[in-house]
Amino acid sequence: MVREAIVLAGGLGTRLRSVVKDVPKPMADVNGKPFLEYLLTFLARQKIEKVVLSVGYRYEVIKDYFRNSFSGMKLVYSIEQKPLGTGGGIRNSFSFVDSNESFVLNGDTIFDIDMEKLYLFHKRKNSALSVALKPMKHFDRYGSVKLDQNNRIIGFEEKKYYESGLINGGIYLLNKNFFMSFDLGEEFSFEKDFLEKYYSFYAFYGLEFKDYFIDIGIPEDYEKFKKYAKRFLAN
């Protein structure tokens, strides 16, 4: 099992500005605790031992709050001096990762999956990149991910209204040497410039999980998580 994780926590939270001001998006207050604390609690439950926090905008707020450990996990900070995009943030963070694979998570999303199940799937497929996917109905906020019968990713469809489909749940298991072999520049999007660009050239795989999923990127879902948060901590 992989015991290291990168968390992308450098977001500005532009769409949350009406309810969250002057802090990085993952530090949005949820019932007296920052959202990132719930995400780190999830990682501790999964027996992750080291978390690399990819931070940028007002990173001191995160560092001052969490310091260098949380719930037995070592916390390391990969600091962006300028915005690098999700891809650039991951690339920077991998310099702090000891093993050849790491989980990668979005810092504004919780997808309450069994990460060991994703790891075993990843190994069984001998995959360089595996993605946790969430089935959804009646949605237009996300694009849709298409799989073949062997769970290989065969397509990404743009954001529009879908009756049902699979969305990218924002948890990846990624091979470090494979990812670092690409020269994509200093600033790039992991989703657009890597995942969606190279899936047809390399075997990337997706695994469906029906577990609880929340993305606090918009005020409505941020408010939804406030109502669910106590139950999440009690699980």
CB contact set of 57 (below 8 Å; sequence gap of 6+)? 10, 11, 12, 24, 83
Residue 63 belongs to some domain of the structure? yes
Residue 150 belongs to some domain of the structure? no
pLDDT tens track for 46-94: 999 999 999 998 999 999 999 999 999 999 999 999 999 999 999 999 9
Q: Write the CATH number for 213.
A: 3.90.550.10
Where does the pLDDT of residue 15 fall: very low under 50, low under 70, confident under 90, or very high at 90 and above? low
Residue 148 belongs to some domain of the structure? no
Answer yes or no: are the C-beta atoms of 52 and 26 closer than 8 Å: no
Asked if pLDDT for residue 12 goes beyond 70, the answer is no
- Report how many domains make up the chain: 1
Range of the domain at 66: 4-129+169-234
Average pLDDT on 20-40 reads 91
Asked if pLDDT for residue 182 goes beyond 80, the answer is yes
Please give the model's pTM, rounded to 2 decimal places. Answer: 0.97
pLDDT tens track for 121-161: 999 999 999 999 999 999 999 999 999 999 999 999 999 99
Q: Identify the pLDDT of residue 16.
A: 73
Residue 149 belongs to some domain of the structure? no
